[in-house]
Structures are given as C-alpha cells and as structure tokens.
C-alpha cells in the first residue's frame, strides 16, 4: 500500500516540477531584468521600427514560444508592455 502512494507521489512530482520551472522562467525570472534595460530596449525598437515596434516584439515573443524559450518569451512580453505604454496613440492609455 505504501508503494502505491509512493508511485502516485512520484508521478505527481514530475508535472509539479515542470509547472514550477515554467513559472520561474516565464513569470519570476524576467522580474529581475532591470526596468531601465526594458525601457531602453523599448525606446530603441520604437526608434527603429516606429509604429511597427510592437509587431516586431510580438514576432519575437511568438518565436520564443514556438521554440520553448520561456525566459525570452517573458522578456519580450515585458518589452511589449513597455512599448504599448509608450505608444498611447496606438493602444490607448494604460492604467
């Protein structure tokens, strides 16, 4: 009987570990990127791509998702949010 519970715990451990790793890479680790670096990257992309800067960021975020680069996806999501906040004429004012 104890072996059954041990087997169930082992099978539940792997998905739980995958979930924790994903949460770390996508949500928590990008929080350690300095805000100044995100703002600098957003400003550079707006200067280079103009109104298409968010499309460029979305393309990179989608590519990171397709290739399983979770940290990069989180980083590009933060850059995209900064671009949307800077380009209020396209996306409206954010709270």
User: What does each of the 95 residues of the chain score in pLDDT, given as a tens digit?
Assistant: 777 888 888 889 989 999 999 899 889 999 999 999 999 999 999 999 999 999 999 999 999 999 999 999 999 999 999 999 998 887 777 65
> Mapped to the 3 state alphabet, what secondary structure does the chain carry?
CHHHHHHHHHHHHHHHHHHHHHHHHHHHHHHHCCHHHHHHHHHHHHHHHHHHHHHHHHHHHHHHHHCCCHHHHHHHHHHHHHHHHHCHHHHCCCC
The pLDDT tens digits of the residues spanning 57-71 come to 999 999 999 999 999
Structurally, how many domains does the chain consist of?
1
| Exposure letters 33-56 (e unless 16+ CB within 10 A, then b) | eeeeebeebbeebbeeeeeebbeb
- Owning domain of residue 19: 2-91
């Amino acid at each position: 009987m104890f072996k059954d519970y041990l087997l169930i715990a082992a099978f539940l451990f792997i998905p739980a570990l995958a979930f924790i790793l994903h949460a770390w890479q996508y949500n928590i680790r990008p929080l350690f990127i300095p805000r100044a670096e995100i703002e600098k990257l957003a400003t550079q992309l707006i200067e280079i791509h103009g109104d298409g800067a968010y499309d460029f960021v979305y393309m990179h975020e989608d590519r990171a998702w397709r290739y399983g680069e979770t940290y990069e996806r989180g980083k590009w999501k933060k850059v995209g949010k900064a671009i949307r906040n800077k380009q209020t004429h396209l996306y409206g004012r954010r709270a």
